[in-house]
């Protein structure tokens, strides 16, 4: 059954990570279309200027040159127009402190980058499906937290 | 020998739609992705014709009936879970079948086809959402929430909460509290 594809955006400075993410996302059952940016500056410029609909979910790498993930998260959460975007932190580190801290700052999802392709597909499948539910079932996004 | 091709699905779909609908003499505009705006309204038979023609390209007109029915299933579940009363211990499957007047097998298959998830998962997600509300807004204890949502024990609720959100109910509560405190502060 066809559905309007869910708009997904990934901000990550590592080219390999972007490619793997793209391939993994294509394996996910929910139909998506992906926008890729290389760092936080590009991300915020994209959100500022785009005439396209906003992404439903943005995946943020924490460590990026010029502007990192936490900074972007703060800017996204303080902009009324961007409130409805789900933010997923996509990071190599996963200390309890980091995780709680980003949730408190308004992240919806925290993903520790998996080491193998299969796990990444599974993780994305879960995040995208749940996000799709929030997108389509009028759930309260403020209460949307998911740690993987 | 191998040749590599690159294709843009959106353009492919647009061109296919244009060519095929033109053949059928239908004037239309492609508004946003996946929405056809027709000049004139057309009959169901005509829609079936379009479906037949597009089928071999893997394109399908969205069946509104299916979507409407799935919405009904969701509404029934949400209404059942969001009652102020204690959740009934009757099986969801029996309740849905009775209320919607279809076999549970039929309901559950249709639901999965349209939503990418099973009814069981949807119910769990909704129950956990309800648990979040009860913890945050009505400040019920976990024991009270478990009782109200008909979990066999606090442990069962905690496990399902953790499995669904990745967080314990306590961590969730702490995070939302801190978040509210912080968003009150100027940044």
Least confident of A27-36, A93-102, B104-113: A93-102
Whether B150 has a pLDDT exceeding 60, the answer reads: yes
For chain A, percent of residues with pLDDT exceeding 90: 61
- CB distance A67 to A39 below 8 Å: yes
Closest chain B CA to residue A109: B165
pLDDT per residue as tens digits for the range B19-51: 988 888 888 887 665 677 777 777 767 777 888
Burial of A75 (0-12, 13-18, 19+ CB in 10 A): middle
Least confident of A53-62, A102-111, B88-97, B126-135: B88-97
- CB distance B163 to A126 below 8 Å: no
Average pLDDT of the segment spanning B162-174: 91
For chain B, percent of residues with pLDDT exceeding 70: 93
Residue predicted with more confidence, B13 or A139: B13
Q: What is the pLDDT of residue A31?
A: 87
Q: What is the pLDDT of residue B86?
A: 79
Computed over every residue of chain A, the mean pLDDT equals 89
Q: What is the pLDDT of residue B106?
A: 92
CB distance from A1 to chain B under 8 Å? yes
Both structure tokens of B145? 């929430």
Q: How far is A55 from chain B (nearest CA, A)?
A: 14
- CB distance B34 to A2 below 8 Å: yes
Model confidence band, residue A3 (pLDDT cutoffs 50, 70, 90): low
Model confidence band, residue A12 (pLDDT cutoffs 50, 70, 90): very high
Q: What is the pLDDT of residue B56?
A: 84
- With beta carbons under 8 A apart, name residues in chain B contacting A147: 165-167
Residue B42 CA: distances (Å) to CA of B11, B28, B39: 25, 11, 9
At CA B130, angle to CA B129 and CA B135, rounded to 5? 100
Q: What is the pLDDT of residue A1?
A: 42
Picking from B62, B166, B183, the nearest residue to A147 by CB comes out as: B166
First to last CA, chain A: 29
Q: Are A5 and B33 a contacting pair at CB < 8 A?
A: yes
> Which DSSP helix (H) or strand (E) runs through A32?
strand A32-37
Average pLDDT of the segment spanning B52-74: 81
Whether A68 has a pLDDT exceeding 60, the answer reads: yes
The number of beta carbons lying within 10 Å of the beta carbon of residue A122 is 16
Average pLDDT of the segment spanning B7-18: 83
Whether B180 has a pLDDT exceeding 80, the answer reads: yes
Whether B161 has a pLDDT exceeding 90, the answer reads: yes
Whether B66 has a pLDDT exceeding 90, the answer reads: no
Computed over every residue of chain B, the mean pLDDT equals 85
CB distance from A51 to chain B under 8 Å? no
A contact residues 53-112, partner B, Cβ 8 Å cutoff: 53, 74, 77-78, 100, 103-106, 110
Q: What is the pLDDT of residue B187?
A: 46
Model confidence band, residue B155 (pLDDT cutoffs 50, 70, 90): very high
Least confident of A28-37, A54-63, B6-15, B127-136: B6-15
Question: Of the segments A15-19, A99-103, B30-34, B86-90, which one has the largest average pLDDT value?
Answer: A15-19
């Amino acid at each position: 059954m066809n559905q309007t594809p869910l708009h997904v955006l990934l901000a990550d400075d590592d080219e390999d990570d972007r490619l793997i993410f793209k391939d993994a996302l294509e394996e996910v059952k929910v139909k998506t279309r992906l926008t890729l940016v290389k760092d936080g500056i590009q991300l915020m410029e994209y959100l500022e200027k785009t005439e396209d609909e906003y992404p439903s979910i943005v995946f943020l790498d924490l460590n990026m040159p010029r502007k990192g993930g936490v900074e972007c998260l703060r800017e996204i959460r303080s902009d009324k127009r961007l409130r409805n975007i789900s933010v997923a932190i996509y990071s190599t580190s996963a200390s309890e402190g980091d995780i709680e801290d980003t949730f408190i700052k308004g992240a919806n999802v925290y993903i520790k980058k998996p080491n193998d392709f299969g796990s990444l597909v599974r993780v994305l499948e879960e995040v995208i499906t749940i996000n799709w539910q929030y997108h389509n079932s009028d759930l309260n996004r403020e209460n949307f937290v998911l740690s993987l | 020998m191998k040749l590599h091709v690159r294709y843009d699905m959106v353009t492919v779909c647009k061109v296919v739609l244009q060519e095929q609908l033109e053949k059928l003499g239908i004037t239309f505009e492609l508004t946003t992705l996946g929405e056809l705006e027709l000049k004139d309204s057309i009959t169901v038979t005509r829609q079936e014709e379009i479906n037949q023609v597009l089928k071999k390209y893997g394109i399908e007109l969205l069946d509104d009936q299916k979507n409407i029915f799935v919405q009904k299933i969701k509404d029934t579940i949400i209404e059942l879970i969001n009652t102020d009363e204690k959740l009934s211990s009757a099986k969801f499957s029996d309740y849905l079948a009775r209320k919607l007047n279809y076999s549970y097998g039929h309901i559950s298959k249709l639901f999965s086809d349209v939503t990418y998830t099973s009814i069981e998962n949807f119910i769990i997600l909704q129950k956990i959402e309800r648990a979040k509300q009860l913890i945050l807004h009505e400040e019920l204890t976990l024991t009270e929430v478990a009782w109200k949502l008909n979990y066999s024990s606090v442990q069962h609720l905690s496990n399902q909460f953790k499995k669904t959100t990745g967080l314990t109910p306590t961590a969730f509560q702490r995070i939302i509290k801190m978040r509210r405190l912080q968003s009150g502060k100027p940044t």
